[in-house]
Structure 1
Amino acid sequence: MTLSSPEHIAAAKANVDAFFGLTGKIFEGVEKLAALNLQAVRATLAETRENMTKVSGTTEPQQWFSLQAGFIAPFAEKSLSYGRQVFDIASTTQSEVTHLAQTHYERYNDRVQALVEEAAKHAPTGSEAAIAAWKSAIAATATLCETLQKTGQQAVKIAESNFEAVTATASKAVRNNAGQAPVAVVAKR
């Protein structure tokens, strides 16, 4: 078997395809995150300009404090929404990358098992222990990969539920605080 055999060429092509598939998914996630950040910056600049215009037209301290208090709740809600969107992009990208890696691993594992089976057919007598050790190592590696994948999925689910709980609590706190009247400042003479 030479390095330019059809099997090697197919394996090399599969590796290149896997690499570009993986980097493509990562770049898609980065593009989504960059677009989200640009959108957030544009919205923040527009809102800041609008708020500065409102604040500059105030003449009374109470009016100024009321406007300031009115800015907090929408900002907090938008910050929570931004955090949710970032988390969604990250978890979607992670899921797609994991799927691609799992698919590539399964193909690679199948090729290794076929190689071991082929080696077992042509192995000299007395090498059964070595072949059994190879098969055992392959099985242990497959079990480890499955365990790591399940653990990763559980960690993502836990992180997602924790994030949702924190977001719900923060959102509730913001709504409760937004309903309260701003504190009046009385100037002492």
Structure 2
Amino acid sequence: MLTVEQIIAAQKAQVATLFDLSSKALASVEKLNELNLQAAKASLSESASHAQALLSVKDLNELVALQNAALQPLAEKAASYSRHLYDIATGMSAELTKLAEAQTADAQKQFVSAVDNAVKNAPQGSEAAVAAVKNAVSTATAAMESVQKAVKQAAELAEANFNAMTSSAVTATKPATKSAKASA
């Protein structure tokens, strides 16, 4: 049976967790806003200088060369933006995962404690039922750990695939812009 102090302590812990999670979510939103602001400032500055360069073009070959020269940095900047965005998302995901793991561990401890208390007060002859409950708890704990391990591996694989994809996308634009420059 839970005491009033245990209920109050649990509620305090939940409120603290909620505020901690809210703080981390706001920090991620702040990082995202900062990234978007930096991207907008850079885009505005580059657009202004590109417009100035376009105004100084004297012939069609110069125009084609100028446009082709703008393609490669654009692809690299898009890949960089995507990487930063991905880093923000994975950072928040990692924080949520830590929180979920801590909450799960705490819940498991409380459940095991409750089972142990029930076992102590179990009537004579219920040893088989107690052993079955303990076995079920250890099986559930092992399954939870296995799922957490699989989720971590999947996240690592997704990150590796994302990095490989952005790297190949940037690399793929390099030959295209070089061949376009050569034909101009």
TM-score (norm 1): 0.86
Equivalents in 1 of 2:40, 2:138: separation in Å?
A: 50
Contact persistence 1:58–1:64 (CA under 8 A): yes
Amino acid at match of 1:16: V
The alpha-carbon deviation at position 121 of structure 1 amounts to: 0.8
Would you say 1:7 and 2:6 are equivalent positions?
yes
Equivalents in 2 of 1:17, 1:179: separation in Å?
A: 56
Equivalents in 2 of 1:122, 1:26: separation in Å?
A: 44
Q: For residues 1-189 of structure 1, what are the structure 2 equivalents within 5 Å?
A: 5-180=4-179, 181=181, 183-184=183-184
Equivalents in 2 of 1:165, 1:178: separation in Å?
A: 20
Equivalents in 2 of 1:182, 1:151: separation in Å?
A: 49
**Ranges in structure 1 where 5+ consecutive residues have no aligned partner:** 185-189
The root-mean-square deviation of aligned C-alpha atoms, in Å, is 2.0
Equivalents in 1 of 2:9, 2:19: separation in Å?
A: 15
After superposition, the Cα gap between the structure-2 partners of 1:127 and 1:20, relative to the gap in structure 1 and judged at 3 Å, is: farther
State the partner residue of 1:187. Answer: none
Equivalents in 2 of 1:159, 1:81: separation in Å?
A: 17
The structure with higher relative contact order (CA 8 Å, sep 6+) is 2
Contact persistence 1:69–1:182 (CA under 8 A): no
The alpha-carbon deviation at position 106 of structure 1 amounts to: 0.9
Equivalents in 2 of 1:105, 1:21: separation in Å?
A: 17
Equivalents in 2 of 1:29, 1:141: separation in Å?
A: 33
Contact persistence 1:55–1:64 (CA under 8 A): yes
Equivalents in 2 of 1:137, 1:29: separation in Å?
A: 39
Say which SS state the counterpart of residue 137 (structure 1) adopts: helix
Equivalents in 1 of 2:82, 2:53: separation in Å?
A: 27
The worse-fitting range, judged by mean Cα deviation, of 46-55 and 109-118 is 46-55
Q: Which runs of 4+ in 1 moved over 4 A?
A: none
The worse-fitting range, judged by mean Cα deviation, of 25-34 and 7-16 is 25-34
TM-score (norm 2): 0.88
The alpha-carbon deviation at position 79 of structure 1 amounts to: 0.8
The alpha-carbon deviation at position 35 of structure 1 amounts to: 1.4
After superposition, the Cα gap between the structure-2 partners of 1:170 and 1:101, relative to the gap in structure 1 and judged at 3 Å, is: same
Amino acid at match of 1:176: P
Equivalents in 2 of 1:35, 1:167: separation in Å?
A: 22
Query: Can you list the C-alpha shifts for 1:152-186, whole angstroms capped at 9, x where unaligned?
Result: 111111111111212222222233333332544xx
After superposition, the Cα gap between the structure-2 partners of 1:154 and 1:44, relative to the gap in structure 1 and judged at 3 Å, is: same
Query: Can you list the C-alpha shifts for 1:64-105, whole angstroms capped at 9, x where unaligned?
Result: 111100110111111111111111111122112111211121
